[in-house]
Every structure is written in C-alpha cells, then in structure tokens.
Amino acid sequence: MAFPVDTEQTEAERISQTRSAPAVQDVVVQVQRVLAELEPDQFEVAVRRILASVDRVEADHRVKIARGALGSIPLYQARADRRQTAMAFFELHYARLVRNGEIFADDLRRHDGRLYRALAAYLATQGRRLSDIVQLRPIAIKRRQA
C-alpha cells in the first residue's frame, strides 16, 4: 500500500529554496570549468567522484531533516495504550512524514527499531514487505542498482 504524495512543499524543499542560489551557481560554474580541462579518461573518474560526493552530502542533509521531524515522536515501546498495534501507531505518528518524503525506512529503523521490527513482522504475516509502506532512501536504491 503506497501512500499518495502530498502536494504541499516538504520542509526539505523550503530549506533548499532559502539557500543562497548564487553561491551554488558559482560552485557549479567552477566545477564545469575544471571538468572542461580534463582528459577524457580523467573526466569519467572525476564525474563519478563528484556524484558519489553529492550523494553523501544529500544523504547527510536528509538525515538531519529526518532527525528534526522525528524528535517529538514517542517510541513505540513507550506508547500509552499498550493495545495499540504497530500499524496503528505508525499511522498516527509516522504516516504523514512518510507521505511527504521526510523520512525513509532507515530513519524509522534508526529512530524506533522496535516499531520497525514490529511493522516488518506484521507485514510479513500479510505477505507484504516494509518497503511497501515506507520507501527506501533514493540514494540506497541508487547504490543497489549500481
């Protein structure tokens, strides 16, 4: 069951738009100049290194955003109503963040490992996977395909 994506701007998009665009543009121009001066065999290696570096920076940025979003969410094991299922707890506290693309499976696992395992076990009994409701981080998908 995939969640529909909200049309509202995510926090990450708002933050990225407030950053100084000219500074980013200057960096892009400098990188383009350096790449233009490289030999063809050096070019491919340089581009791969740049892309790997960008992936790492993006991942770090998304982890910081996720930590902020998860900071106020209680842990599953400390829930007030012990009869509340893992799926109900997830829907109450995490579903909106997942729909908005603010958190991914690794964020959930890092923040609340017990909920992560309980959801995975519950979904397995339904013949589903956790990745059916909580997306993998796009960078992790890129690495698996490489």
Residue-wise pLDDT tens digits, 15-31? 455 554 557 677 777 77
Q: Does 34 fall in a domain?
A: yes
pLDDT of residue 137: 77
Q: Does 126 fall in a domain?
A: yes
pLDDT of residue 56: 65
Closest CA to 62 of 16, 115, 124: 16
pLDDT of residue 31: 79
Indicate the number of domains in the chain: 1
Compare 69 and 79 and report the one with higher pLDDT. Answer: 79
Q: Does 77 fall in a domain?
A: yes
Is residue 121 predicted with pLDDT exceeding 90? yes
Is residue 114 predicted with pLDDT exceeding 80? yes
Give the predicted TM-score (pTM) of the model. Answer: 0.55
Q: What is the mean pLDDT of residues 112-140?
A: 90
Q: Which residues of 56-86 are buried (b: 16+ CB within 10 A; e: fewer)?
A: eeebeebbebbeebbeebeebeebeeeeeeb
Q: Could you list the residue range(s) of the whole structural domain that residue 82 is in?
A: 11-145
pLDDT tens-digit series, residues 77-90: 999 899 999 999 99
Question: Angle at CA 83, nearest 5°, toward 81 and 88?
Answer: 85
